[in-house]
Amino acid sequence: MADCLTLEVSRSDGSFKWSQPLHVLERRGPMVVGEWREGDEVIEGSEKLIQPATARLVLWTDRWYNVIHNSVPMYDRVWYCNIATPAVLEGDALRYTDMGLDIAVTTDGEVQVLDEDEFASNQARHGHHESVTHAARQGLAAALDLISRREFPFTDADLTTLYRPSAA
């Protein structure tokens, strides 16, 4: 696997959502650990943005979620979990489809399930097959279970102790 991939994310209707570099730190079985680095270019629609801070990502090719650990809490969020299709590696790109359902864990440990309305709207609008909806719901439950048990990648005992990136 290349040291740097392009992470490409699509909406549940298949349209492009955003992309940016993913600096691969480790690959173990179905798990890919990478990071976004402060200053990386993000393409969102027709806009070019700059990644504001370093974040560590954990994606799997066999799980219906991925996890972002922010080095600087964004909107008071330390972890952000996308309910998404399993990642697919194609050449130098790692791709997944965002199902529009998310989990945030704040600096004080509050767990928030976000965008239930967006998820339901996407289901209705795009006619997701029942198996896709079921897999996404199972991904949500699995991620919530890991959070409640503080298992990898939600293992920091003190949620205010933030990820510190290793030297490049």
pLDDT along the chain (168 residues), means of 10: 88 93 94 93 94 91 95 78 97 95 91 92 84 95 95 68 42
CB atoms within 10 A of CB 1: 12
Q: Which token pair is 40?
A: 């990386």
Q: In CATH, what class is 4-149?
A: mainly beta
Report the pLDDT value the prediction gives residue 122, as an integer from 0 to 100.
83
pTM value?
A: 0.88
The per-residue pLDDT for 152 is: 87
Give me the phi and psi of 106, to 5 degrees please: -85, 170
CA distance 55 to 89: 20
Distance in Å from the first CA to the final CA of the chain: 18
Residue 149: what pLDDT? 92
Per DSSP, the three-state class of 148 is: helix
